[in-house]
């Protein structure tokens, strides 16, 4: 599974994908005073509440328009999957091993 995270100014949206299908979504309000540990715990609790096994999450992709929050979510994500998440967006350079289809999703 892939956890996609879209960090916007006021909220952060999450989508969980298996293969090419969106299977779950959730969101919460951004709080710039939160630590990466607090974000990690919120994400883990929500996923566990939705009966998602954390070990099934293979990769995390982060898209952010809020540079201040990008690092917090990066650290929280790295703690969840024990490897670097993939960062996409303006000014972000991230190399990935993922093969993403384009014709069916566009």
State pTM to two decimals: 0.83
pLDDT of 22 over the 80 cut: yes
pLDDT of 101 over the 60 cut: no
pLDDT of 96 over the 80 cut: no
Residue 62 CB neighbours (<10 A) = 23
């Amino acid at each position: 599974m892939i956890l996609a995270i879209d960090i916007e100014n006021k909220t952060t949206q999450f989508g969980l994908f298996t293969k090419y299908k969106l299977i779950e979504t959730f969101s919460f309000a951004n709080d710039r005073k939160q630590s990466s540990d607090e974000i990690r715990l919120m994400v883990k609790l929500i996923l566990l509440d939705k009966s998602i096994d954390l070990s099934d999450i293979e990769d995390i992709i982060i898209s952010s328009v809020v540079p201040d929050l990008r690092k917090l979510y990066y650290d929280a994500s790295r703690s969840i999957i024990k490897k670097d998440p993939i960062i996409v967006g303006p000014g972000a350079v991230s190399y990935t091993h993922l093969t993403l289809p384009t014709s069916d999703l566009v």
